Amino acid sequence: MAPTIQSSDSLVPKIVLQTISPCPPKHRGPLAKTLTTLEKKLFPSSEAFDYVLELKKPNIGVILAYASPSPPSPNPKSNPSDQNPKPPSTPIPTPPAENLIGYLIFQRLKGVTWIHKLGVVERERRKGIGRRLVEALMWEVKRGGGRKVVLWVDEGREGARALYRGVGFEEGGVVEGYYGVGRGAVKMEVEVEAE
């Protein structure tokens, strides 16, 4: 599979989303460093990912949300009235790491796409960025001919569960102790509609 780096104009002003899947070798080092730094602020160390290792996997993808200093320029190929603009196919350079405000890590496994991580920096929460990241993945999955997105979420993360339910995920069973003592995991999944 050819590496792709794509961007999309966001419906949320001053936000740019960038999908990297798979991660080209020259981007792995800097991206691993950036994600590791951000993740330390958002997740317990027991849930830390080894991004140097993960980003080498061809089926791993990352969607990054950046605060843009100015609104992104319109995509000339998209219809301005289109509520779901398509990303351009031309690769764009990665914006500065300090502008990174959210990210989503996914993995394609046997026709199913798994969300491994979703995080938004605290000061930018409740502005729709987490939802945008998940919707962007669902669009990517649909575009790639996939049908299902699945995840495990800590049952105590009520905000995240509400977000996923809000974009169509349904909750399955709970596995007790999945994340540690007293921390069960809920399986959630959504079927993405074919285009």
Ligand X SMILES: CC(C)(COP(=O)(O)OP(=O)(O)OC[C@H]1O[C@@H](n2cnc3c(N)ncnc32)[C@H](O)[C@@H]1OP(=O)(O)O)[C@@H](O)C(=O)NCCC(=O)NCCS
Q: Quote the least distance from Cβ 166 to ligand X, whole Å.
A: 5
Residues of this chain, 120-139, that bind ligand X according to CB under 6 A: 120, 125-131
Q: Binding pattern to ligand X, positions 153-192, x when CB under 6 A?
A: x---xxxx-xx--x--------------------------
Nearer to ligand X, 131 or 147 (CB): 131
- Written in H, E and C, the secondary structure of the chain is CCCCEEEEECCCCCEEEEEECCCCHHHHHHHHHHHHHHHHHHCCHHHCCCHHHHCCCCCEEEEEEEECCCCCCCCCCCCCCCCCCCCCCCCCCCCCHHHEEEEEEEEEECCEEEEEEEEECHHHCCCCHHHHHHHHHHHHHHHCCCCEEEEEEECCCHHHHHHHHHCCCEEEEEECCCCCCCCCEEEEEEECCCC
Q: Quote the least distance from Cβ 118 to ligand X, whole Å.
A: 4
Nearer to ligand X, 55 or 129 (CB): 129
Q: Quote the least distance from Cβ 130 to ligand X, whole Å.
A: 3
Site for ligand X, rule CB under 6 A: 42, 117-120, 125-131, 153, 157-160, 162-163, 166
